Amino acid sequence: MAALTLTDADAALLDGARGPGVQLAMRVVVRMAAVQDARSLILISGAHIDSALYMGDATLAFMERLADGGATVVVPTTCNVGGVDEGGWRRWAVPSEWAERSRRQMAALETMGCRPTWTCAPYQVERRPAFGEQIAWGESNAIVFANSVLGARTERYPDMLDICAAVVGRVPAVGLHLDAPRRGTTVFDLSRLPVALQERSDFFPVLGHLIGSVVHGGVPVLIGVSSAPTEDDLKALGAAMASSGAVALFHIVGVTPEAPTLDRALHGVAADETVMVSLEQLRRARADLSSETGETLDMVVLGSPHFSFDEFRRLALLLDGRARHRRTRLLVTTSRGVRAMAESAGLLAPLDRFGGEITVDTCILTSPMLPDSVRTLMTNSAKYAYYSPGLLRRGVAFGSLADCVESAVAGRVVRDEGPWSE
Rg (CA), the chain: 22
* CB of 269 closer than 8 Å to CB of 193: no
Residue 34 has pLDDT above 60, yes or no: yes
The size of the chain, in residues, is 422
User: Rounded to two decimals, what is the model's pTM?
Assistant: 0.96
Q: Which residues contact 47 (CB under 8 A, 6 or more apart)?
A: 73, 75, 76, 77, 78, 135, 136, 137, 157, 162, 163, 165, 166
Q: What CATH number does domain 8-180 carry, 3.40.395, 3.30.499, 3.10.590, 3.40.50?
A: 3.30.499
Measured in whole angstroms, how far is the alpha carbon of residue 260 from the centre of its chain? 25
Name the residue ranges covered by the structural domains of the chain.
Answer: 8-180, 183-287, 289-421
Give Cβ neighbours of residue 252 (< 8 Å, ≥ 6 apart): 221, 222, 225, 229, 234, 259
pLDDT exceeds cutoff 70 at 1:
no
> Which DSSP state fits 308?
P
What would the mean pLDDT of 11-38 be, rounded to a whole number?
97
The predicted-structure confidence for 192-204, as pLDDT tens digits, reads as follows 999 999 999 999 9
Same fold, 8-180 and 289-421: yes
Residue percentage of the chain with pLDDT more than 90: 95
Separation of first and last alpha carbons in the chain: 55
DSSP state of 201: T
d(CA 187, CA 194): 19
Question: Which superfamily does 289-421 belong to?
Answer: Aconitase, domain 3 (3.30.499.10)
Sign, CA torsion 365/366/368/369: negative
pLDDT (tens digit per residue) in 246-272: 999 999 999 999 999 999 999 999 999
How do residues 181-191 score in pLDDT, each as one tens digit? Answer: 999 999 999 99
